[in-house]
Amino acid sequence: MARALAPSLLDLVGSTPLVELPRLSPRPSVRLYAKLEGQNPTGSIKDRVAKAMVDAAEAAGELEPGRRLLEPTSGNTGISLALVAKLRGYALTCVLPASVTEERRRLLRLYGAEIVDSPAAEGSNGAVRLALELAEHDPSWFMPFQYANEANPRAHYEGTGAEIAEALERVDVLVAGLGTGGTLMGAGERLRESFPDVVVAAAEPLPGDEVMGLRSLADGYVPPVLDVSRLDRKLLVSNEQSVAGLRLLLEREGIFGGVSAGAVVHAARRLAEKLDEGVIVCVLADGGWKYLSAGFWDAEDVGAAMERSVWW
Amino acid sequence: MAAVRIPPTLRAEVGGARQLEARGETVAEVLDDLVERHPALAAQLLAGGELAPFVNVFVGGEDIRTLDGTETHVRNGDSIVLLPAMAGG
């Protein structure tokens, strides 16, 4: 598909390819498709969200040039915001769990972002907690805050979901990874408009014991953008299952996905087994490049090798 | 009997166990059985008699909030996972 000459890299966010996965469906009568979000400019679906949040804040007059941005992230949203911030003239600081892959830190620094570490043992929830504290003590920060920013699900309603609805005549199941809930809420809502019976299914990571928080279950965090009652299925996927899905995706279809993409493939295949026929769309949030330094590729015990890190 | 995986945040309340066996035909009954034997769990798992909002319970790998909530049926040998709700992104 030819694209018009783009005035800016940010004009290339979204409109990602949708490709069939004929070798991955466990049943020939169930067709699997993958939305390749790794083909966004910084390599993840979060480009949509970062651009939408900054656009919305600028339109509302909340951002003047030179303003400092602060955002808690497990990596991808930070990298996307770093690109948007660079091109729009803002400084960016990301609060990042100390337990993410080295590629994410390296990329953030290369894009010009500063990093504040949150405690590894608190996982992503610790980054949220610390960023909220920092923002409260210093009002000069502007925090887009993907977890509560309506521009996040809206980017997926207007982008991800609309693109899928336009490309396919039928969608029975949408599967996406659960992080903020933005993809599932936004794309799910848009797909329900075109396909009222669509099943919106979340693939949720089973975090390692070492990154689950150590104090109490009350440290749990449900992002305000996520309304679990709008999900039809919510499937827990272990790190081992995610990596098995990632390897299957690469071996059978030649698609090099990230860990959450592997989890989505695993969940989609599980759902496909229960369908007589139908169309399942998998949203693959990123490619595998940012995970190459991880220890799980050659590990005998994949689960143990992944226990101490946050993967999405 | 169901095998219940205990997250690190709750292990102190159950004497350090990573997994416990519990009886019950529904999630509510399984949780009651656990709380009866380990009363300290109640403060973390429940809020006003309901499952606390920041606690996720999975039966057979699926969140009970997209099944039948605490009335979700538990079969003999099912594995149940208790987790704090975690964000990503």
CATH classification of B2-84 is 2.10.109.10, yes or no? no
B62: nearest CA in chain A? A235
What residues make up the domain containing A123? Answer: 46-142
pLDDT in tens, A118-136: 999 888 999 999 999 999 9
Put simply, the answer to whether B89 touches A209 (Cβ < 8 Å) is no
Q: Are residues A34 and A65 in the same domain?
A: no
In a domain, A307, yes or no: no
Residue A269: pLDDT band by 50, 70, 90 thresholds?
very high
Q: Are A233 and B66 in contact (CB under 8 A)?
A: yes
The mean pLDDT value for A62-87 works out to 95
B63 at the A interface (CB within 8 A)? yes
The mean pLDDT value for A36-49 works out to 98
Q: Are residues A198 and A250 in the same domain?
A: yes
Q: Are A8 and A87 in contact (CB under 8 A)?
A: yes
pLDDT in tens, A218-261: 788 999 999 999 999 999 999 999 999 999 999 999 999 999 99
pLDDT of residue B57: 97
Number of domains composing chain A: 2
A74, A80, A260, A309: the catalytic one is A260
A201: nearest CA in chain B? B66
Residue A3: pLDDT band by 50, 70, 90 thresholds?
low
Cα dihedral across residues A85, A89, A90, A96: positive or negative: positive
A-B CB pairs within 8 A amount to: 114
CA B49 to chain centre: 14
Q: Are residues A26 and A113 in the same domain?
A: no
In a domain, A3, yes or no: no
pLDDT of residue A125: 92
In a domain, A308, yes or no: no
Q: Three-state DSSP class for A134?
A: helix
Put simply, the answer to whether A212 touches B83 (Cβ < 8 Å) is yes
Beta strands at A199-205 and B55-59: parallel, antiparallel or unpaired: unpaired
Residue A103: pLDDT band by 50, 70, 90 thresholds?
very high
Q: Are residues A263 and A212 in the same domain?
A: yes
pLDDT in tens, A44-61: 999 999 999 999 999 999
Last residue of a domain, one of A98, A113, A142: A142
Q: Are residues A125 and A217 in the same domain?
A: no
Average pLDDT across chain A, whole number? 95
Classify burial at A246, counting beta carbons within 10 Å of its beta carbon; exposed 0-12, middle 13-18, buried 19 or more: buried
Put simply, the answer to whether B89 touches A179 (Cβ < 8 Å) is yes
pLDDT tops 80 at residue A68: yes
In a domain, A309, yes or no: no
In a domain, A149, yes or no: no
Classify burial at A128, counting beta carbons within 10 Å of its beta carbon; exposed 0-12, middle 13-18, buried 19 or more: buried
Q: Are residues A178 and A134 in the same domain?
A: no
Put simply, the answer to whether A228 touches B66 (Cβ < 8 Å) is yes
Q: Are residues A84 and A177 in the same domain?
A: no
Q: Are A153 and A179 in contact (CB under 8 A)?
A: no
In a domain, A151, yes or no: no
Q: Are residues A97 and A245 in the same domain?
A: no
In a domain, A154, yes or no: no
Q: In this structure, how many other beta carbons lie within 10 angstroms of the beta carbon of residue B44?
A: 22
Distance set, CA A311 to CA A211, A294, B36, B70 (Å): 10, 10, 36, 29
| CATH number of the domain within which A116 lies | 3.40.50.1100
Which residue has tokens 């980017």? A155
Put simply, the answer to whether B8 touches A222 (Cβ < 8 Å) is no
ipTM: 0.95
Of B44, B85, B86, the CB nearest to A216: B44
Active-site residue flag, A46: yes
In a domain, A304, yes or no: no
Of B45, B53, B58, the CB nearest to A222: B53
| CA atoms within 13 Å, Cβ hemisphere of A173 | 30
Identify how many contiguous H helices and E strands chain B contains and give both numbers.
Answer: 2, 7
Q: Three-state DSSP class for A165?
A: helix
Over the range A132-162, which residues count as b (16 or more CB within 10 Å of their CB) and which as e?
bebbeeeeebbbbbbbebbbbbbbbbbbbbb
Active-site residue flag, A290: no
